[in-house]
Structure 1
Amino acid sequence: MSTAEISIPNQIWEWRGLPINYQQMGTDGPALVLIHGFGASVGHWRKTIPALAENHRVFALDLLGFGQSAKPAPGEPLPYDFETWGTQVTDFLHEIVKEPAFVVGNSIGGVVALQAAVMDPGQSQGVILLDCALRQICDRKLHTQPPMRRLGRPLLKKVLKNRALVHWLFAQIARPARIRAVLRTAYGNPEAVTDELIEILLAPAREPGAADVFWAFINNFDGPLPEDLLPQITCPALILWGTADPWEPIALGRELAKFPAVEEFIPLEGAGHCPQDEIPDVVNDHLQAWVARHAVTTPAVSPR
């Protein structure tokens, strides 16, 4: 059986009265916490967890609002923003991991990883960003957009505030054919867009509350940018970036390498926005090599 075929059981962590889904493999070695991107879940790490668990304690969690974690109405009790998710990760490190860890994030998960490292520096041994979300929709980046996009921002905001309209839009997107088409543009290797992957992404979208999470997130035109957070972290950072990422172009991603905390910026030839799913062996090798250079040895622990 290949590592990608290993079934990993889900576990539930009660966080502030809300059920949070996570997975765990490995009983010794450095701890790694994997954070998915927008619309994804722990399943997006199914090709990563078993391989890394051979020499690491590996955890992946579904952010509040995603995967099999709770999806309360926005603001009841927490907003869907990076401060909420950063707090979720730091609390997870304290309560479940129980030791400083390397935090790995893909897409918006990268911003969450940076937010957690800023909020609780002692709990992050290092941050690894995979095609980190550059959050070009943020109002503070509006000046970098084409003139028509800048002029259209007030109208866009007004449209996206319409909850019923966004719920309808979500229903159009959350269909197998539409998800497949979107992923085939985002992935450098279209063959990696499998029926299994489509179901991993669609299953949470069918749950009550999923459309409201989508509505809340796409209305977030504020909040931290990677370039705000990178100067504040006190741990080293590694950046991996797919050269074929159409959503977060590598030319813009390279700008993050100028911050002192970033030790390496490694292009991943031919990969798109989700390299951990497209070229897992390459990504796993980079993660293990970098972690090995920075890990502080910790004693073995018994599995939960």
Structure 2
Amino acid sequence: MVGNLQGDTRDKTDCETQFWLWRGYRISYQTRGDRTDRDLPAAILIHGFGASLGHWRKNMEALAEVSRVFAIDLIGFGAADKPTPGQEIDYTFETWGTQIVDFCREVVGSAAILVGNSIGAIVAMQAAVLAPELASKVIAIDCSLRLLQEQKQLGLPWYKRLAAKAAQQILGNRAIAQLFFDQVRKPSAVRKILSQAYARSDAVTDELVDMLIEPARDPGAMDVFMAFVRYSQGPTPEELLANLPCQATLLWGEQDPWEPIALGRELAKYDCVKEFIAIADAGHCPQDEAPEMVNPILVRQIQSLK
């Protein structure tokens, strides 16, 4: 066994944070729905960069009506442990994909629908490629296009490529990275970033800001941030979609400023992508901005596998 459960219960609607021991590290997760009812499909919800399982708080109850739902913190984020990059663990999509695969085997106990937002969508696809038998379907919400990945940087104008490399090198200096991180985790800075990413200003609440700031205060959070900012390797979404062993559905906020929907639509050309759904009046995180629109779509996607 790679991991085991700590403080685990089998309550039908357990909303308390539980911990699973993976490779000696505590991984936080929450679950909804009857985990003992194997007639229900399972769904694993995977957050994006800098976020946590709480980013699915507006979705879990609705999905629990038709599935066993699990929201998980990727190692390095949320309430999960944050081991030292490079020394204890490498923060890569292969690491996170393997975490999801092992979680599927050891906690979920069956194949699952993998739902991811932003880099969480890349993690979902990586997990599906690593263990095809455990991925029933992938639902990618505003999938990270990985525009700063090494291969994609080659297609940028020289000045943008140079600027990206320079920024990564500057943030590789620990002192500078600490100063930068201290600024971006301030409530005012987090609110400003969210206001840029979200199309709906009323969705940028104090609850959301606090939810993102709290894990950033943990020891090791800055090192995880720095490691990911400098991470330009790993797969592109195009590479993963070309090898995806299951069907995929793409959801995209029409007003996403970080991952433009026009570029997102290009991913729909892959054979595994069976549906591309635009979410009106939503930005980068439509599951949080517009749950009243996203939840019925996710429910239909889950029910389509029955």
Report what 2:301 is aligned to: 290
1:246 is displaced (CA, Å) by 0.1
| Partner Cα separation in structure 2 for residue 221 and residue 197 of structure 1 | 28
2:45 equivalent among 9, 21, 34: 34
> Does residue 228 in structure 1 map to residue 239 in structure 2?
yes
Q: What whole-Å deviation, never above 9, does each CA across 1:237-263 have from its counterpart, x for those lacking one?
A: 000000000000000001110000000
Partner of 1:257: 268
TM-score, L = length of structure 1: 0.93
After TM superposition, give the deviation of residue 284 of structure 1 in Å.
0.9
Count of aligned residue pairs for this structure pair: 290
Cα offset, 1:7, TM superposition: 8.7
Give 2:291's match in structure 1, choosing from 262, 277, 280.
280
Give, in angstroms, the shift of residue 231 of structure 1. 1.2
Distance 1:133 1:38 in 2: 10
Corresponding residue to 1:179 among 177, 190, 197? 190
> Identical aligned pairs, as a percentage?
51
Offset at 1:276? 0.5
Name which of 6, 22, 27 aligns with 1:20.
Answer: 27
> Using the alignment, how far apart are the partners of 1:240 and 1:38 within structure 2?
18
Q: Which one of 203, 212, 237 corresponds to residue 192 of structure 1?
A: 203
Q: Which of 10, 14, 23 is residue 17 of structure 2 equivalent to? A: 10
1:164 and 1:71 mapped to 2: Cα distance?
19
The letter for the 2-side match of 1:259 is Y
Paired with 2:252 and 2:134, the residues of 1 have a C-alpha distance of 25
Displacement of 1:51: 1.1
Structure-2 separation of matches of 1:276 and 1:158: 34
Match of 2:174 among 144, 157, 163: 163
Question: SS in structure 1 opposite 2:113?
Answer: strand
Residue 151 of structure 1 deviates from its aligned partner by: 3.0
Q: 1:83 to 1:55 in 2, by over 3 A?
A: same
Equivalent-residue separation in structure 2 for 1:63 and 1:151 (angstroms): 31
Q: Is 69-78 or 87-96 further displaced after alignment?
A: 69-78
Pairing 1:64-83 to 2, within 5 Å after superposition: 64-83=75-94
Unaligned runs of 5+ in 1: 1-5, 296-304
2:111/2:133 contact within 8 Å kept: yes
Q: Which runs of 4+ in 1 moved over 6 A?
A: none
C-alpha separation in 1, matches of 2:211 and 2:274: 33
For residue 178 of structure 2, what is the amino acid of its counterpart? H
CA distance in 2, matches of 1:192, 1:151: 35
Q: Counterpart of 1:147?
A: 158
C-alpha contact 2:14 2:31 (8 A) present in aligned 1: no
Gaps of 5+ in 2: 1-12
Aligned to 1:3: none
Distance 2:207 2:162 in 1: 40
Aligned partners of 2:62 and 2:299 also within 8 Å: no
Deviation at 1:152, TM superposition (A): 2.9
Root mean square deviation of aligned Cα:
1.3
Q: Which has the higher contact order (CA 8 A, sep 6+)?
A: 1
